[in-house]
Structure 1
Amino acid sequence: MRQEWEPEDLIEVWTLLEDDMGRLRNKSGVNRLGFALLLKFFEVEARFPEDAGEVPAAAVGYVAQQVKVPAGEWAAYDWAGRAVKRHRVEIREAYGFRECSVEDQAQLAQWLAAELCPVELSRERLAEAVVARCRKDHLEPPAPAKVGRLVGSAVSTFEERFCQRVFGTVLGCRWRFRAEVLSDFI
């Protein structure tokens, strides 16, 4: 996510709407601010931030004003506690998303190997395609590091299949050629 925001963009993207404020009713203090920031971040990126530093400071300040919690409280948000897990579940449900399971990741890798690796060499663009596909399918994409490993796995699978096809074709041609040559001598 970009870190620099013009005031008009900040207002357009990070303003909490009536539905957003309704979701904040039963939350207070740092959890209120944390939930609001996760909610708006997810709205923009279709994923959650990996840590507090990923959320732009300008957005933290702007959202903190709206929820009437000091921006400095953001540093105290517990990224490993039960509250953040509950917040993520609530936000996924609000946007109709679900977590990306191990099976989903395997299917994404197969899709990449079969459909995109034959026509795209850039691992960065393959990773972007994974995130776009997750959005389309309403899946929370895996963390960026996991997406990178998923892309690496798909590329390896594609390369292995490609080599097997090429090598198999070459071997098949050699055996047919040898059989034809030998049949002339027999």
Structure 2
Amino acid sequence: METIKRRVDLILAFCCILLCGLLTVVVTWQVASRYLLSSPGAQSEELAKIMFVWLTLFSAALLFGEKGHMNIGLLCDSLSIRWRLSLQILTSVLILAFCVAILVVGGWDAVGRTMRQTNAAIPYLSTGQIYLALPICGVFSSFYCIYNIICDWQRLAAVISTHRPETED
């Protein structure tokens, strides 16, 4: 499972690096065309917005995989390791439900509903293609949730087995 996670991390990191590089090129072209040519392109501005959204969603999934997402650990840090791991598992299950219901299912529904709508600034790109970032990000985030649940479950099982009072024979 760890090997799969590392490969998924590499795929997401590559996508984020590629999107960040392309976003830099597009924004640089937008600024140059605005000031040097006095002709800013609507396509480059729209493309920059789309790439920024994709970069944000992919980066959020990657950060989620590293457990770098924002949390308030005041309550969790004061609990014992058993309760902390149990709370982490519960939280991951709730986040998994959100990722599947909203990002994957809802995102796929949005893609299906908008696949025939063309973008006003970039007519060769449909709105559904832009919305594909939602279910893709949802699948990656769901994978990380499942991975975190399995890892936390294994750590919880190890903690329970090491702290189990021994019975006398």
Calculate the TM-score normalised by the size of structure 2: 0.34
Whose radius of gyration is greater, 1 or 2?
Answer: 1
Q: Which has the higher contact order (CA 8 A, sep 6+)?
A: 2
Query: More helix by proportion, 1 or 2?
Result: 2
Calculate the TM-score normalised by the size of structure 1: 0.31
